[in-house]
Amino acid sequence: MNITIKKPYLISEAGKRIKNENSIYPDNEYVSANNRLFLICDGGGSSKGKTASSIASDAIRTYFNTFLDDEKKIDPQFIEKALQYTEIQFDEYIQKNPSAKGMSTTLSLLYFAPHGVYLTYAGNSRIYQFRNGEIIFMTKDNFSKISHLQVEADIITIFDVLPDDEFFMCNNGVTEVWSDDDLCKLFSSNLSSEAKMSAITELCRSNAKDNYSACLIPVQDIKKINFLKQMLLYSI
């Protein structure tokens, strides 16, 4: 199959905090239906939250841009190597800046490959898959974070994807305001994806005490390809 997406919608704001220590990718100003990689990193630990989230976001997208020259190569092992590369960047930064020891960040990652959706997460950021307003998949908090220590991130591949499914990524600044039931009511409405994100943003601006970041990615189409051709393509 070949998965295409509609225009995604992203937000990342400080909430009631003085500054926003989250990092998201891509930038909301440049996001389009051509994007395949999506990241939300929620920094914490010591006074280097923004540094930690930026290192993680920059390292992962650098690894993808450098080594993913063919989308057929994407698999859980590739993502594991991207996380290992990120840990190395943390080690190198802390060696040069000892006061940053203890900094960390949560991570939620989505990658839309032609043949499936790859995701990984560490910490209490969430990834949901909505279909007709129902949650058919959601991550659970795993309480690990990306840091200079080895991370234990869960890596999952989703092949059950249909047109008009909506993938929603967010940090705990959003889930503290929006419960799963609230999100289901919103996603079961007739609102457009843009209007749903506007509703999420409005309530977070009024009630979120922490930084809040979210990304909503609607699926456009799923084009089926010949099974034998698919086996040949993704076994190379």
Higher-confidence residue of 99 and 205: namely 205
Phi, psi torsion values for 169, nearest 5 degrees: -110, 140
pLDDT tens per residue across span 205-229: 999 999 999 999 999 998 875 544 4
CA proximity to 103, closest of 57, 150, 148: 148
Residue 236 resides in a domain: no
Looking up tokens 């943390």, which residue turns up? 90
Q: Which domain holds residue 183?
A: 2-231
CA proximity to 175, closest of 119, 214, 131: 214
Give 150's DSSP letter.
P
Q: What is the mean pLDDT of the chain?
A: 89
Among 41-50, 93-102, 177-186, the least confident range: 41-50
The structure's pTM equals 0.90
Residue 17 resides in a domain: yes
**CATH number of the domain residue 26 falls in:** 3.60.40.10
CA distance 119 to 139: 10
CA distance 176 to 172: 6
Look at residue 67 and give its three-state secondary structure.
helix
